[in-house]
Amino acid sequence: MDSVSQIALGAAVGVAVMGRTVGMGRAALAGAAFGTLPDLDVIFDYGDPVSNMTKHRGASHALFYLTLCAPVCGWLLGRQAHWQRWTLAIWLILMTHVGIDFMTVYGTQLGQPFTYYPFGAGSIFIIDPLYTLPLLAGLWFALRRKSTSANRLGLVVSTLYLGWSLVAQGLAEEKAHTLLAQQQVAAERVLVTPAPLNTLLWRVLVMTPDGYWEGHVSLLDTEPTPLVFHTVDSILLREWQTQPYVARMIWFTKGFFRLSEHNHELVVTDLRMGQEPGYVFNFAVARRNTQGEWQALDVPRQFSEGHNSTALSWLWRRALGQPVMPPGVSAVTVNALR
Q: What is the pLDDT along the chain (338 residues), one digit of tens a residue?
A: 999 999 999 999 999 999 999 999 999 999 999 999 999 999 999 999 999 999 999 999 999 999 999 999 999 987 767 899 999 999 999 999 999 999 999 999 999 999 999 999 999 999 999 999 999 999 999 999 888 899 999 999 999 999 999 999 999 999 999 999 999 999 999 999 999 999 999 999 999 999 999 999 999 999 888 999 999 998 999 999 999 999 999 999 999 999 999 989 999 999 999 999 889 999 999 999 988 899 999 999 999 876 666 788 899 999 999 988 888 775 444 434 44
Q: With contact defined as beta carbons under 8 Å apart, do 119 and 111 qualify?
A: yes
Please count the CA atoms within 13 angstroms of the CA of 204 that sit on its side-chain side. 28
- pTM value? 0.92
Q: With contact defined as beta carbons under 8 Å apart, do 152 and 16 qualify?
A: yes
The whole-number pLDDT of residue 137 equals: 97
Q: What is the rounded distance in angstroms from the CA atom of residue 69 to the CA atom of residue 282?
A: 34
Q: With contact defined as beta carbons under 8 Å apart, do 121 and 144 qualify?
A: no
Q: With contact defined as beta carbons under 8 Å apart, do 66 and 34 qualify?
A: no
Burial state string for 211-234 with b = 16 or more CB within 10 A and e = fewer than 16 = ebbbbbbbbebeebbbbbbeebbe
Residue 273 is classified by DSSP as S
Name every residue whose Cβ is closer than 8 Å to that of residue 270 and which is 6 or more positions away in sequence: 249, 252, 253, 256, 257, 279, 280, 281, 282
Amino acid identity of residue 287, one-letter, is R
The whole-number pLDDT of residue 25 equals: 95
Burial state string for 43-52 with b = 16 or more CB within 10 A and e = fewer than 16 = eeeeebbbbb
Q: What is the rounded distance in angstroms from the CA atom of residue 148 to the CA atom of residue 141?
A: 8
What's the start-to-end Cα distance of the chain, in Å? 37
Name every residue whose Cβ is closer than 8 Å to that of residue 48 and which is 6 or more positions away in sequence: 245, 299, 300
**Angle in degrees, 0-180, between the axes of helices 3-22 and 83-102, rounded to the nearest 10:** 160
Name every residue whose Cβ is closer than 8 Å to that of residue 157 and which is 6 or more positions away in sequence: 134, 138
Q: What is the rounded distance in angstroms from the CA atom of residue 255 to the CA atom of residue 262?
A: 20
The whole-number pLDDT of residue 239 equals: 93
